[in-house]
Protein backbone atom coordinates (compact mmCIF):
# COMPACT_ATOMS: atom_id res chain seq x y z
CA UNK A 1 0.00 0.00 0.00
CA UNK A 2 1.43 3.34 -1.05
CA UNK A 3 2.24 5.86 1.65
CA UNK A 4 0.11 8.96 1.32
CA UNK A 5 2.05 12.22 1.28
CA UNK A 6 1.70 14.43 4.30
CA UNK A 7 -0.81 17.18 3.51
CA UNK A 8 0.39 20.77 3.54
CA UNK A 9 -0.50 22.69 6.69
CA UNK A 10 0.33 26.29 5.75
CA UNK A 11 -0.96 27.85 8.98
CA UNK A 12 1.13 25.46 11.09
CA UNK A 13 4.16 26.14 8.87
CA UNK A 14 3.78 29.90 9.28
CA UNK A 15 3.34 29.60 13.06
CA UNK A 16 6.40 27.38 13.45
CA UNK A 17 8.42 29.83 11.33
CA UNK A 18 7.23 32.67 13.55
CA UNK A 19 8.58 30.75 16.55
CA UNK A 20 11.81 30.19 14.60
CA UNK A 21 12.23 33.89 13.97
CA UNK A 22 11.57 34.69 17.62
CA UNK A 23 14.21 32.15 18.70
CA UNK A 24 16.90 33.52 16.42
CA UNK A 25 16.13 37.14 17.23
CA UNK A 26 16.51 36.13 20.89
CA UNK A 27 19.96 34.72 20.01
CA UNK A 28 21.10 38.00 18.47
CA UNK A 29 19.57 40.07 21.29
CA UNK A 30 21.33 38.09 24.03
CA UNK A 31 24.68 38.23 22.24
CA UNK A 32 24.13 41.97 21.79
CA UNK A 33 23.33 42.28 25.50
CA UNK A 34 26.57 40.51 26.44
CA UNK A 35 28.44 42.79 24.05
CA UNK A 36 32.18 43.11 24.49
CA UNK A 37 32.12 42.11 28.17
CA UNK A 38 33.13 38.65 26.97
CA UNK A 39 35.62 38.52 24.05
CA UNK A 40 33.91 37.43 20.82
CA UNK A 41 36.01 34.26 20.45
CA UNK A 42 35.38 33.23 24.06
CA UNK A 43 31.64 33.92 23.79
CA UNK A 44 31.45 31.83 20.62
CA UNK A 45 33.35 28.95 22.24
CA UNK A 46 31.20 28.96 25.37
CA UNK A 47 28.02 29.02 23.28
CA UNK A 48 29.12 25.84 21.47
CA UNK A 49 30.69 24.14 24.48
CA UNK A 50 27.57 24.67 26.60
CA UNK A 51 25.41 23.58 23.68
CA UNK A 52 27.09 20.16 23.53
CA UNK A 53 24.57 19.01 26.12
CA UNK A 54 21.99 18.94 23.33
CA UNK A 55 24.04 16.25 21.54
CA UNK A 56 23.21 13.63 24.16
CA UNK A 57 19.98 12.50 22.42
CA UNK A 58 21.96 12.08 19.18
CA UNK A 59 24.67 9.75 20.51
CA UNK A 60 23.11 6.63 18.95
CA UNK A 61 23.45 8.18 15.49
CA UNK A 62 27.25 8.27 15.87
CA UNK A 63 27.52 4.47 15.92
CA UNK A 64 27.35 4.37 12.12
CA UNK A 65 30.83 4.31 10.53
CA UNK A 66 32.06 7.46 8.78
CA UNK A 67 34.32 7.21 5.71
CA UNK A 68 37.71 8.92 5.49
CA UNK A 69 36.22 11.30 2.93
CA UNK A 70 33.40 12.07 5.32
CA UNK A 71 35.77 12.78 8.20
CA UNK A 72 37.82 15.08 5.96
CA UNK A 73 34.71 16.99 4.85
CA UNK A 74 33.49 17.26 8.43
CA UNK A 75 36.87 18.69 9.39
CA UNK A 76 36.85 21.22 6.55
CA UNK A 77 33.28 22.22 7.35
CA UNK A 78 34.12 22.65 11.02
CA UNK A 79 37.05 24.93 10.15
CA UNK A 80 35.01 27.03 7.75
CA UNK A 81 32.05 27.30 10.12
CA UNK A 82 34.39 28.23 12.97
CA UNK A 83 35.58 31.24 11.01
CA UNK A 84 31.99 32.20 10.21
CA UNK A 85 30.96 31.99 13.87
CA UNK A 86 33.97 34.04 14.99
CA UNK A 87 33.17 36.77 12.48
CA UNK A 88 29.47 36.77 13.41
CA UNK A 89 30.16 37.20 17.12
CA UNK A 90 32.64 39.96 16.30
CA UNK A 91 30.15 41.74 14.03
CA UNK A 92 27.56 41.61 16.80
CA UNK A 93 29.83 43.83 18.93
CA UNK A 94 30.24 46.36 16.12
CA UNK A 95 26.93 46.61 14.22
CA UNK A 96 23.29 47.28 15.07
CA UNK A 97 20.98 44.25 15.24
CA UNK A 98 19.19 45.25 12.04
CA UNK A 99 22.37 45.36 9.95
CA UNK A 100 23.58 41.98 11.19
CA UNK A 101 20.18 40.43 10.45
CA UNK A 102 19.87 42.02 7.01
CA UNK A 103 23.38 41.05 5.89
CA UNK A 104 22.84 37.49 7.10
CA UNK A 105 20.34 37.11 4.24
CA UNK A 106 23.29 37.16 1.80
CA UNK A 107 24.27 33.59 2.65
CA UNK A 108 21.69 31.96 0.32
CA UNK A 109 22.90 34.18 -2.51
CA UNK A 110 26.46 32.94 -2.05
CA UNK A 111 25.12 29.37 -1.99
CA UNK A 112 23.33 29.91 -5.30
CA UNK A 113 26.60 31.03 -6.89
CA UNK A 114 28.60 28.24 -5.23
CA UNK A 115 26.09 25.60 -6.33
CA UNK A 116 26.62 26.65 -9.94
CA UNK A 117 30.41 26.80 -9.65
CA UNK A 118 31.07 23.64 -7.63
CA UNK A 119 27.97 21.42 -7.71
CA UNK A 120 27.18 21.71 -11.40
CA UNK A 121 23.77 23.35 -11.04
CA UNK A 122 22.56 25.34 -14.05
CA UNK A 123 22.33 29.03 -13.32
CA UNK A 124 19.37 30.20 -15.40
CA UNK A 125 18.93 33.83 -16.45
CA UNK A 126 16.20 34.45 -13.86
CA UNK A 127 18.46 33.22 -11.06
CA UNK A 128 21.35 35.34 -12.34
CA UNK A 129 19.09 38.39 -12.29
CA UNK A 130 17.84 37.51 -8.79
CA UNK A 131 21.44 37.20 -7.55
CA UNK A 132 22.20 40.58 -9.11
CA UNK A 133 19.21 42.15 -7.35
CA UNK A 134 20.30 40.63 -4.01
CA UNK A 135 23.80 42.05 -4.41
CA UNK A 136 22.23 45.45 -5.12
CA UNK A 137 20.41 45.02 -1.81
CA UNK A 138 23.77 44.52 -0.11
CA UNK A 139 25.06 47.72 -1.73
CA UNK A 140 22.00 49.59 -0.43
CA UNK A 141 22.89 48.45 3.09
CA UNK A 142 26.61 49.19 2.79
CA UNK A 143 26.31 52.38 0.68
CA UNK A 144 30.04 52.49 -0.21
CA UNK A 145 31.18 56.02 -0.93
CA UNK A 146 28.35 57.49 1.15
CA UNK A 147 29.47 56.20 4.53
CA UNK A 148 32.43 54.38 6.01
CA UNK A 149 32.37 50.58 5.68
CA UNK A 150 33.42 49.34 9.08
CA UNK A 151 35.26 46.17 10.02
CA UNK A 152 31.91 44.91 11.32
CA UNK A 153 30.46 45.09 7.79
CA UNK A 154 33.47 43.25 6.39
CA UNK A 155 33.04 40.63 9.12
CA UNK A 156 29.38 40.09 8.14
CA UNK A 157 30.29 39.73 4.46
CA UNK A 158 32.77 37.05 5.49
CA UNK A 159 30.24 35.45 7.83
CA UNK A 160 27.69 34.98 5.05
CA UNK A 161 30.39 33.58 2.75
CA UNK A 162 31.75 31.07 5.28
CA UNK A 163 28.25 29.93 6.28
CA UNK A 164 27.43 29.42 2.60
CA UNK A 165 30.50 27.21 2.14
CA UNK A 166 29.50 25.29 5.28
CA UNK A 167 26.03 24.73 3.86
CA UNK A 168 27.38 23.48 0.52
CA UNK A 169 29.62 20.95 2.30
CA UNK A 170 26.65 19.80 4.39
CA UNK A 171 24.65 19.44 1.17
CA UNK A 172 27.40 17.25 -0.29
CA UNK A 173 27.44 15.13 2.88
CA UNK A 174 23.66 14.69 3.08
CA UNK A 175 23.72 11.51 0.96
CA UNK A 176 26.41 9.92 3.15
CA UNK A 177 25.43 10.80 6.72
CA UNK A 178 22.22 11.33 8.68
CA UNK A 179 21.10 14.84 9.68
CA UNK A 180 21.84 14.02 13.33
CA UNK A 181 25.44 13.13 12.51
CA UNK A 182 25.88 16.21 10.31
CA UNK A 183 24.58 18.51 13.04
CA UNK A 184 26.45 16.69 15.80
CA UNK A 185 29.79 16.69 13.98
CA UNK A 186 29.41 20.40 13.27
CA UNK A 187 28.91 21.13 16.98
CA UNK A 188 31.93 19.05 17.99
CA UNK A 189 34.31 20.33 15.31
CA UNK A 190 33.35 23.98 15.83
CA UNK A 191 33.81 23.66 19.59
CA UNK A 192 37.30 22.24 18.99
CA UNK A 193 38.05 24.88 16.36
CA UNK A 194 37.03 27.76 18.63
CA UNK A 195 39.01 26.50 21.64
CA UNK A 196 42.45 27.97 20.73
CA UNK A 197 40.91 31.33 19.78
CA UNK A 198 39.04 31.44 23.09
CA UNK A 199 42.16 30.46 25.06
CA UNK A 200 44.12 33.33 23.47
CA UNK A 201 41.70 35.95 24.83
CA UNK A 202 40.29 34.11 27.84
CA UNK A 203 38.68 36.16 30.57
CA UNK A 204 37.04 34.26 33.47
CA UNK A 205 33.28 34.54 32.80
CA UNK A 206 30.80 35.32 35.55
CA UNK A 207 27.94 33.00 36.41
CA UNK A 208 25.51 35.43 34.79
CA UNK A 209 27.50 35.47 31.55
CA UNK A 210 27.57 31.67 31.46
CA UNK A 211 23.82 31.66 32.00
CA UNK A 212 23.23 34.09 29.13
CA UNK A 213 25.43 32.07 26.76
CA UNK A 214 23.64 28.86 27.72
CA UNK A 215 20.40 30.63 26.81
CA UNK A 216 21.96 31.45 23.42
CA UNK A 217 22.60 27.73 22.91
CA UNK A 218 19.03 26.92 23.98
CA UNK A 219 17.41 29.44 21.65
CA UNK A 220 19.66 28.48 18.73
CA UNK A 221 18.85 24.78 19.16
CA UNK A 222 15.13 25.54 19.53
CA UNK A 223 15.25 27.71 16.42
CA UNK A 224 16.69 24.93 14.26
CA UNK A 225 14.12 22.48 15.67
CA UNK A 226 11.09 24.73 15.03
CA UNK A 227 12.45 25.56 11.58
CA UNK A 228 12.48 21.84 10.76
CA UNK A 229 8.87 21.55 11.94
CA UNK A 230 7.93 24.49 9.72
CA UNK A 231 9.47 22.86 6.66
CA UNK A 232 7.66 19.61 7.44
CA UNK A 233 4.32 21.39 7.71
CA UNK A 234 4.35 23.53 4.57
CA UNK A 235 6.33 24.27 1.39
CA UNK A 236 9.25 26.67 1.67
CA UNK A 237 7.40 29.08 -0.63
CA UNK A 238 4.92 29.52 2.25
CA UNK A 239 7.36 29.60 5.16
CA UNK A 240 10.30 31.50 3.69
CA UNK A 241 8.71 34.96 3.39
CA UNK A 242 7.94 34.80 7.12
CA UNK A 243 11.70 34.95 7.82
CA UNK A 244 11.66 38.60 6.74
CA UNK A 245 9.87 39.34 10.03
CA UNK A 246 13.20 38.66 11.74
CA UNK A 247 14.45 41.94 10.27
CA UNK A 248 11.34 43.77 11.49
CA UNK A 249 11.80 42.34 14.98
CA UNK A 250 15.52 43.10 14.98
CA UNK A 251 14.86 46.73 13.99
CA UNK A 252 12.21 47.08 16.69
CA UNK A 253 14.29 45.39 19.38
CA UNK A 254 17.37 47.41 18.48
CA UNK A 255 15.43 50.66 18.73
CA UNK A 256 13.38 49.91 21.84
CA UNK A 257 15.90 47.96 23.94
CA UNK A 258 19.35 49.02 22.74
CA UNK A 259 18.57 52.56 21.57
CA UNK A 260 19.79 51.91 18.01
CA UNK A 261 18.48 54.35 15.38
CA UNK A 262 16.22 52.89 12.68
CA UNK A 263 18.07 52.99 9.35
CA UNK A 264 15.59 52.92 6.47
CA UNK A 265 18.34 52.00 4.01
CA UNK A 266 19.15 48.85 5.98
CA UNK A 267 15.47 47.84 6.02
CA UNK A 268 15.16 48.54 2.28
CA UNK A 269 18.34 46.60 1.46
CA UNK A 270 17.23 43.66 3.60
CA UNK A 271 13.84 43.64 1.88
CA UNK A 272 15.50 43.64 -1.56
CA UNK A 273 17.77 40.71 -0.63
CA UNK A 274 14.91 38.76 0.94
CA UNK A 275 12.69 39.39 -2.10
CA UNK A 276 15.38 38.09 -4.45
CA UNK A 277 15.98 34.96 -2.38
CA UNK A 278 12.23 34.31 -2.12
CA UNK A 279 11.98 34.59 -5.91
CA UNK A 280 14.75 32.02 -6.37
CA UNK A 281 12.98 29.64 -4.01
CA UNK A 282 9.62 30.19 -5.74
CA UNK A 283 11.15 29.44 -9.15
CA UNK A 284 12.73 26.26 -7.83
CA UNK A 285 9.36 25.18 -6.46
CA UNK A 286 7.59 25.94 -9.74
CA UNK A 287 10.15 24.00 -11.75
CA UNK A 288 10.04 21.13 -9.21
CA UNK A 289 13.81 20.97 -9.04
CA UNK A 290 15.78 20.27 -5.90
CA UNK A 291 16.48 23.66 -4.41
CA UNK A 292 20.13 24.22 -3.59
CA UNK A 293 19.53 27.62 -2.06
CA UNK A 294 19.16 27.14 1.69
CA UNK A 295 15.67 27.79 2.97
CA UNK A 296 16.88 28.59 6.46
CA UNK A 297 17.88 32.22 6.39
CA UNK A 298 18.26 32.45 10.13
CA UNK A 299 21.45 32.89 12.03
CA UNK A 300 23.65 29.81 11.72
CA UNK A 301 25.09 29.91 15.24
Rounded-to-integer distance, Cα 177 and Cα 67, Å:
10
For the purposes of burial, counting CB atoms within 10 Å of the CB of 220, is it exposed (0-12), middle (13-18) or buried (19 or more)?
Answer: buried
pLDDT for the residue numbered 5: 47
Enumerate residue ranges in the chain where pLDDT < 70. Answer: 1-8, 59, 61-62, 64, 119-121, 145, 235-237, 240, 283-300
pLDDT for the residue numbered 278: 78
C-alpha distance across the termini of the chain, in Å: 42
Contacts of 109 (CB under 8 A, 6+ apart): 131, 134, 135, 160, 273, 276, 277
pLDDT for the residue numbered 236: 65
Taking alpha carbons only, the member of 164, 175, 79, 77 closest to residue 114 is 164
Cβ pair 51, 190 in contact under 8 A: no
| Longest distance between any two alpha carbons in the chain, whole Å | 64
pLDDT tens for each residue of 155-189: 999 998 999 888 888 878 877 777 778 888 888 99
Can you give the pTM of this predicted structure? 0.84
Amino acid sequence: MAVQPTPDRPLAGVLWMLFTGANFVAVTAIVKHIGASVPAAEAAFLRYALGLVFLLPMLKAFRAPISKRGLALFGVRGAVHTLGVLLWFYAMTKLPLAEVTAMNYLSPVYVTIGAALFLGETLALRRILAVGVALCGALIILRPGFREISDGHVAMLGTALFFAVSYLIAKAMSAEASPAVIVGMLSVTVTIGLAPFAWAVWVPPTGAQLGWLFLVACFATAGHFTMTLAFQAAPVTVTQPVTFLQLVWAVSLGALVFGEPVDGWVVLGGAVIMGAVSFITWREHRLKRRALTPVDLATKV
